[in-house]
Amino acid sequence: MLAFEYYQPTKIIFGQGCFKRLGEVVQSHGRKALLVIGQRALRKLGILDKAVELIEKHVATISICEGIKPNPTSQSVTACAEKVKTEGIDVIVSIGGGSVMDAARAISLALTHPGNFWEYRLTGNKGITKIENKLIPVITVPTTAGTGSEISPAAIISGGSSKEVIVSSYMFPKVALVDPELTFSLPQDLTAQIGLDALVQSIEAFVSKNANPVSDLYAQESIRLAFENIIKAVSHGSDVLSRSNMLLAGLLSSKAINLAGVGAVHALSDPLSGRYNISHGLALSLILPEVVEHNLDSNFEKYARLGKLLGEDTDRMTSKKAAQKTLEAIEKLLVELGLTKRLRDFGITESDIEIFAPEAINPDIGCNPKELNIEDIKDIYRKAL
């Protein structure tokens, strides 16, 4: 029986130059703004000064939480919330990549809910069911193209050696301002890594055991857009069309996983980011081929369709052979993107795998098209060494 639920309330303002509307958008949601940003890039590029200029015309006060790092920690979220807890913040503006937007959602939670926000994570003492409809509205402005975090209701936060999920329908951003001009300065390596995230999200949603016709529509178009534009976005960073298409691919991938979830690639990447601080996109690339190879026989037909989306001519092939071409296409793309590192390049050994492999057993595993036990997980990691 076909059944699914879908809720996506974020207003999306998409297009070159739409960043100029930031002030009026902020004003429609509050008068005391908190601006959440990363470490140095926005200040160096002048985007921070421009954002402050746009917002100051429309609000009473602006506070800035600067220095959010990739794989944001629970400590950094708490520190920012403590800094501004007495200021009466009524709107949060997040400008940056997925980590900054995750932090902004978590800060909204920390400022509005009793106790330690960390206990509202999926596995926390309070849990996600205790999140109430009283969060401070969040406005997102992405400067990277790939995660679709600008319309996500989830925050991925690191605590200790693990990455945890905090998610609620109340955590959707109110507005996403998606301007390709803000992604022009993204370095080639980050363009490749973050763009790959859009592709992996859509691939995992497409083959997910929870996939449905609506998620498939989003996933297939996202895969097509990402595959056709990622190389040009990497090599020609100021190309408006390829940058726009990568942002759209990220948005569509977020819609796809909101319906169908992700799978083992994301689950197995989490310990790599949590323990070794490997960026999310790079962590995905380290294990993507091995997970796809493990999953191929779960659904040869869908993996064959995926191959066509990745540019393979599979018309006269069996589904099994066409699925194998999908794996070859993924491996070829990783080489073209320069994403060919191995786990051993980060000092990871087989004995380390024995320690962190159990941490990969998280809710994302449940959407994977093929079941994995702990030995399967260890074997995938070993193949990625």
Q: Are 281 and 263 in contact (CB under 8 A)?
A: no
**For residue 96, is it left (φ>0), alpha (ψ between -120 and 50) or beta?**
left
Within 13 Å of residue 192, how many CA atoms lie on the same side as its CB? Answer: 17
Rounded to the nearest integer, the mean pLDDT of the chain is 95
Q: Cα(223)–Cα(303) distance, rounded to whole angstroms?
A: 13
> Of 11-15, 64-68, 144-148, 366-370, which gets the smallest average pLDDT?
144-148
CA-based nearest residue to 55, from 80, 78, 31 = 31
- C-alpha 92/C-alpha 12 separation (Å) is 16
Confidence of residue 60 (pLDDT cuts 50, 70, 90): confident
Q: Where are the domains of the chain?
A: 11-183, 188-384
CA distance 280 to 157: 12
pTM: 0.94
Q: Tokens at residue 339, please?
A: 């994403």
Distance CA 162, CA 270 (A): 7
DSSP codes of every residue in 318-340: -HHHHHHHHHHHHHHHHHHTT--
Q: Quote the tokens at residue 34.
A: 């908190």
CATH topology of domain 11-183: Rossmann fold (3.40.50)
| The CATH number fitting domain 188-384, selected from 3.40.50.720, 1.10.760.10, 3.40.50.1820, 1.20.1090.10 | 1.20.1090.10
Question: In 3D, which of 210, 300, 203 has the Cα closest to residue 2?
Answer: 210
- In this predicted structure, the answer to whether residue 4 has a pLDDT above a threshold of 90 is no
**pLDDT tens for each residue of 136-184:** 999 999 999 988 999 999 999 998 777 889 999 999 999 999 999 999 9
State percent of the chain over pLDDT 70. Answer: 100
Q: Nearest to residue 36, comparing CAs of 122, 95, 81?
A: 95
Residues 6+ apart with CB under 8 A from 311: 227, 329
What is the end-to-end Cα distance of the chain in Å, rounded? Answer: 41
pLDDT in tens, 97-107: 999 999 999 99
Residues with Cβ within 8 Å of residue 253, at least 6 apart in sequence: 146, 147, 148, 197, 198, 199, 201, 202, 205, 218, 219, 222, 226
Quote the CA–CA distance of 154 and 145 in Å, as a whole number.
17
Distance (Å, whole) CA 90 – CA 84? 11
207-233 confidence digits (pLDDT tens): 999 999 999 999 999 999 999 999 999
What does the pLDDT look like over 70-80, one tens digit per residue?
Answer: 889 999 999 99
pLDDT recorded at residue 1: 61
Alpha carbons 179 and 40: distance in angstroms, whole number: 20
H or E stretch covering 97: none
